[in-house]
Structures are given as C-alpha cells and as structure tokens.
Amino acid sequence: MRRTFLTAAAALLAAMSIVGCSSGADSSTLRVGTEGTYSPFSFQGADGKLTGYDIEVVQAVGAKLGKTVEFTQTPFDSIFAGLEAKRFDLIANQVTINDVRKAKYDLSKPYTVSEGVIVTRADNTDITNLAGLKGKTTAQSSTSNWADVARNAGAKVEAVEGFVQAVQLLKQSRVDALVNDTLAVGEYQKTTNDKGIKVAGTTGDTSEQAFALLKGSALTAQINTALDQLRADGTLKTISEKYFGSDVSGK
C-alpha cells in the first residue's frame, strides 16, 4: 500500500512539474505583437519578410536582452486584447503614449516622436484643420490614438484595419478624411506618389510612441535599459535615419 502511495505521489509530482514547465513564455524568447501592415513601421518587405522601423528597434532590444524575437501579426484593433490574453509580451506598433494607456499598461520609454496630420482628397477645400472635422467621417483603426483625436474634433470614425484601407475609403469618397502619423503619411506618399490625396493640415500636437506591456511586467525595466543603451550607442539614430532620413527617436 505504501509503495502504491509513493508511486502515485511521484506521478503527481511529475505531472505538476510538466504543467509548471509548460506554463508561461520561454524566457529566452521575446514575444512581440505587431500589425505587419503599417509601413514604414511594421510591414512585409519585398522578400515577404516582416520589416520596418519598429521591427528593427525591437529586434535590437531583443539582442541587448539576449532574447530571440518572435512576432505575432495582429490587427491593431485587437492587439491590446492579444497582450491582455498573454499571446505576446509586448506590442511594437507605434503605440502613442497617453494617460488612458499609462493607467492600464506599462509603457516603455519613447522611441519615436512625431506629429499628427489630417489627410483629405486632393480636391477637398472644406477641411484644413481639426475644427473642419466636426460632423465629418474619418477612417481610423478604432482603438488608435488618432481615432481619439478625430472623435474629440467631432468626427464620426469609420473603423478600418489599417492605413492603406483608410486611404482607399478616402479616395472612394466613403469618408471625408483620415488622421494619422506624419511619418506614415510621408512614407505612403514617397512610395506611391498618390496625387488623389493631400495633407490638409496638422493636428497641432506632438506625440511619443512606446512599447506597451502588461502592468507590472518584469520586462519593462529591462526594455528601458536596452533602449537607453541603443540611444547611447547610436543604434536608434541609425535605424531612424534608415527609414526616415532623420532622427525621429527623440532624446
């Protein structure tokens, strides 16, 4: 009877050990959630591989931490739900720092500084500033900071999965405008030379972007240290100049 009990106990301990090993993320891997459709920050390169400013920055962070970076592509409007479900350790997708997010998540030190712009069809003369968005419809990722900017200006927001879809709706006259990051808009115009749209005005604010993690994550301090090191050794500046021709990583 004693032997049977000891055998059963050993089996239970082994099972508990297996469960313990399988729960939680591999400490040697940094799991990252990103869109993969938001050029020049996170997109598919000509070779079909994930690339972009945010991708290279988080890969450099992973290297500083001695971790392999593993990406999960997720639409922006469900990316925070993925973080909360622990599908990944952090979001690398130009997450704008604001009070609501600071209260709910850990946000790293910023690694991008930019401003918002209002984009309209080229022939539009009604919208030249945020006040002109009142009563209009804009196309945005509904949970993005830019959606909040549009709503606060009195616009109705039409939810889209990404920037390119927003531009398509705008050109089809299904929406009146879109609000987005000047860096993303500039990259789109440089790549496409799209004469059908124009930058009609600015939002008048400067924003900072950061990595987002679960509140109280043990990784936050490590990532901030890595960002400090990458800023000090010039890596952030080099990556920034590669994609934008100037240093937009902040100070």
How much is the average pLDDT of 149-170?
94
In which residue are the tokens 């972009």 written?
Answer: 52
Short-list 93, 97, 27, CA closest to 62: 27
- What's the CATH fold of domain 114-207? D-Maltodextrin-Binding Protein; domain 2 (3.40.190)
pLDDT tens, residue by residue, 56-108: 999 999 999 999 999 999 999 999 999 999 999 999 999 999 999 999 999 99
Domains 28-113+209-244 and 114-207 share a fold: yes
pLDDT tens, residue by residue, 155-164: 999 999 889 9
Q: What percent of the chain shows pLDDT beyond 70?
A: 90
Domain ranges of the chain: 28-113+209-244, 114-207
Residue 172 makes CB contacts below 8 A (sequence gap 6+) with none
pLDDT tens, residue by residue, 96-143: 999 999 999 999 999 999 999 999 999 999 999 999 999 999 999 988
Q: What is the pTM of this model?
A: 0.76
Q: Give the architecture-level CATH label for domain 28-113+209-244.
A: 3-Layer(aba) Sandwich (3.40)
Residue 181 makes CB contacts below 8 A (sequence gap 6+) with 94, 114, 115, 116, 117, 146, 207
Short-list 85, 198, 100, CA closest to 144: 100
The two three-digit tokens of residue 28, written as one number = 């040697």
